[in-house]
Structure 1
Amino acid sequence: MSVRPSPQQVEAAEGAVIPDVVAPDLRVLFCGINPGLWSGATGLHFARPGNRFWPVLHAAGFTPRRLQPEEQDELPSFGLGITNLVARASAKAAELSAEELRAGAAALADKVARLRPQWVAVVGITAYRTAFGHRRAAFGKQDRRIAGAGVWVLPNPSGLNAHWTEQTLAAEFGQLRQAATTGDCVAR
């Protein structure tokens, strides 16, 4: 059962910050771009109906069943967590400045140094390229590390990212799950 905020609550969520779902020594710390207004209104990551994060997480084998956004606090028990490059909620990621994304990359590095996940998975290649200054980055395992963690770039699971289907997203997420399961954290 999903939480459905009113249109007024969604509108009022501009700038809201939702807490990270983290713990030390995770297998994978998923890093979104920033919360959308629906997530800001509910306080839940990837909460908007149509966002495919939760079904894809299950289809890729990260969770034994499809979790609902309201169950996000169960993620650390599976070795998973969620944070964002930019904490503030906005209607569109395009509203974020390059400076905000770069500052988010620096804050993410500090967080990763403190939490020590095996992998950091950034969901959103354009945001990754801007935040980390890697204009030619491609999806998949990156040739860099963040505070010792391997880096993986995944497609954004937003329903607005229509050229990625749930199946193709699951395949991309599944490659990361395989690497995280086998301990293949060596950058190529």
Structure 2
Amino acid sequence: MLTDIIDNNLSVIFCGINPGLKSASDGYHFSGRSNRFWKTLHLAGFTPYEIEPISDLSILQFSYGLTTAVARATARADELDNTEFASSIESFKNKMIFYKPQCIAFLGKAAYMAFTGKKKLSWGPQEEKFCGARIWILPNPSGLNRGFRLNDLVDHYSALQRSLT
């Protein structure tokens, strides 16, 4: 199990779909070798340096947090089924209402689609708020997501970063 890195009133809480097996085993967010989250975050201007997974707690000093939509670790996010999203939505909502982030950035479309019942989403900012927070949908940085090169990820994440200032 992976522990949330979260605090009150953060600028952004980045929400992964669920932990990868390596991250769950290591106890650090985005610790898989092929995961591009930390590199993308730095290159998009969120952090002045690339955070190492072992130092994932340091993300709080930049007013960002980390959580997952579903707690169960899997090798691939597509191993989750709709019942797992359905059983996690209430605790996720309660967490967001309690911590009051300004923005929730879902990494990939799957969790937000499952949580809202939407059939189609675009990348970037969403019109509606969720638990009082602005919503952004960003491409998943997993190395398994071959549809997005690093530069593509950085472009999408940079758009969110620019919207914060």
Which bin holds the TM-score, normalised by the shorter protein? over 0.9
Report how far residue 104 of structure 1 moved. 2.7
Q: Percent identity?
A: 38
Conserved 8 A contact 2:86-2:115: yes
Superposed displacement of residue 71, structure 1: 1.1
TM-score (norm 1): 0.84
Q: Which residue of 2 aligns with 1:69?
A: 53
Q: Which secondary structure does the structure 1 equivalent of 2:129 belong to?
A: strand
Q: For residues 24-72 of structure 1, what are the alpha-carbon distances to aligned partners after superposition, in whole Å with 9 as ceiling and x for unaligned?
A: 1100000000001001110011110010000000000000001111111
| Residue of 118, 121, 129 corresponding to 1:145 | 129
Backbone CA RMSD of aligned residues: 1.1
Distance 2:14 2:41 in 1: 11
Q: Given the alignment, which residue of 108, 117, 122 partners 1:124? A: 108
Q: Which residue of 1 aligns with 2:155?
A: 171
Shift of 1:178: 1.1
Distance 1:179 1:103, change over 3 A: farther
Whose RCO is larger (CA < 8 A, sep 6+)?
2
- What does the per-residue CA deviation read over 1:130-155, in whole Å, with 9 as the maximum and x for residues that have no partner? 23211111111112212110011010
Q: CA deviation at 1:106?
A: 2.8
Give yes or no for the alignment of 1:19 onto 2:3: yes
**Segments ≥4 residues shifted beyond 3 Å:** none
* Range 77-86 or range 130-139, more displaced: 130-139
Q: 1:34 touches 1:85 (CA, 8 Å); kept in 2?
A: yes
- Amino acid aligned to 2:17: I
Please give the residue correspondences for 1:9-158 in structure 2 after superposition, counting only pairs within 5 Å: 17-158=1-142
Gaps of 5+ in 1: 1-16, 182-188
- SS of residue in 2 equivalent to 1:104: helix
Could you tell me how far apart the structure 2 residues matched to 1:106 and 1:165 are? Answer: 34
Listed as ranges, the gaps of 5+ residues in structure 2 are: none
Is the contact between residue 105 and residue 132 of structure 1 (CA under 8 Å) also seen in structure 2? no
Distance (Å, rounded) in 2 between the aligned partners of 1:36 and 1:53: 13
